[in-house]
Structure 1
């Protein structure tokens, strides 16, 4: 199987809805997805989290969370302030590798690609350790539609590629109903500047859809990265 790491150019760019759309697209392609959220912040234990949101949109899907922290900060910072010991890199890697034996695993990061998910490690470090375990790994980068996305997307792709890891493409996490000139031109410029394709656009407010509406439409929003 394969492990796809879903990362963002920043926080609040639509990673969770993009992850749900990837679940739908993978199912349509005959694969069995499994969703992992290694760390989530700004959440109490009883709160509705990102994995809940994926299931609300895409329907039942196996998966698990690594840890929840209440402070809306980077996981390493929130854990330090709350006196919590985060799962270490090896523990997170082993959970992904175990799930990958029977599923196409989607790992949704927290914030941007260099945000620490644990003590001095980020989603690139996690992907690298999974790759070193002999598992096929790739990234999907979720980006904004408008001004600023060219720089943020290129920096994110370069940071991943610098570690010798594959980027399958970029997904626009929230495509406006009436895109402005910048958004329209970014569709042309993103592949040139990043060197990877735009895999698709998630329509704005898709996260408010019912599961029936979302699962009927989502596979048409994306092209899965080529193996």
Structure 2
């Protein structure tokens, strides 16, 4: 479950997930979308590990709980379409039923952590709490993401849900200064490690291609081989420019510095 950290209207390629294995100590995870998606709620389960046979990946079962015609928050989309909303209890129940026969259960919603699923105010955060699932927050790369990510993880902890880490949901082909700096700042803002970066355009890949490439985008904690330190070094921000003011307090004519309000000493 995630915060509203991606531009609205862009599909999040990761969705929202809880992983559990019945009959053994359960490892529970939740992965949260941060973008507005086509209105709807779906649950999918996949067999992995020994039960899957050769290759370690088995059958995929998809249960679509609701589909709405407009890409809006689920409660709004349901109301406008005259269709029934889906409650957090229904979503959690569907996930737990799938988990009996599957090793990985994914719950896909729409919007951010506190977007309403129904008129009672149920949210993705409630689903995570009901499933007792730590949460992977999917965040935007650029300017503004630090505040949204911090608010999301703060809201999670206030509800007793621990963030597992952060994945950048759409790493641009040509990252700007803010995106590069955020590689170092996002873990601090979230209070959780950076566990991956999904490249821009990945959501348009065919499912088989996405699955084959995903390990390159995700850290070992998520089953991949992505290395946060190596990625950060490769996309490190350039050195800061010198101060735009001369020693006598006058501004360098080449500077585009923002002047503080009420600063009478600098023109």
TM-score (norm 1): 0.72
Give yes or no for contact 2:166–2:193 (8 Å, CA) kept in 1.
yes
Computed over aligned residues only, the root mean square deviation of the Cα atoms, in angstroms, reads 3.4
Alignment match, 2:137:
141
Name the CA shift for 1:178/1:107 in 2 (closer, same or farther; >3 Å). same
Alignment match, 1:183:
179
Alignment match, 2:147:
151
TM-score (norm 2): 0.62
Quick one: distance in 2 between partners of 1:215 and 1:123? 24
Alignment match, 2:72:
73
Question: Which blocks of at least 5 consecutive residues in structure 2 are unaligned?
Answer: 18-26, 45-56, 223-267
Structure with higher helix content: 1
Quick one: distance in 2 between partners of 1:107 and 1:95? 9
Name the CA shift for 1:130/1:61 in 2 (closer, same or farther; >3 Å). same
Alignment match, 1:25:
none
Give yes or no for contact 1:41–1:71 (8 Å, CA) kept in 2.
no
Q: How many pairs align?
A: 194
Q: Secondary structure at the match of 1:61?
A: strand
The structure showing larger relative contact order (alpha-carbon pairs under 8 Å, at least 6 residues apart) is 1
Query: Which structure is larger by alpha-carbon Rg, 1 or 2?
Result: 2
Quick one: distance in 1 between partners of 2:37 and 2:197? 26
Question: Which blocks of at least 5 consecutive residues in structure 1 are unaligned?
Answer: 23-30, 53-57, 132-136
TM-superposed CA distance for 1:169, in Å, is 0.9
Q: Secondary structure at the match of 1:98?
A: helix
Alignment match, 2:93:
94
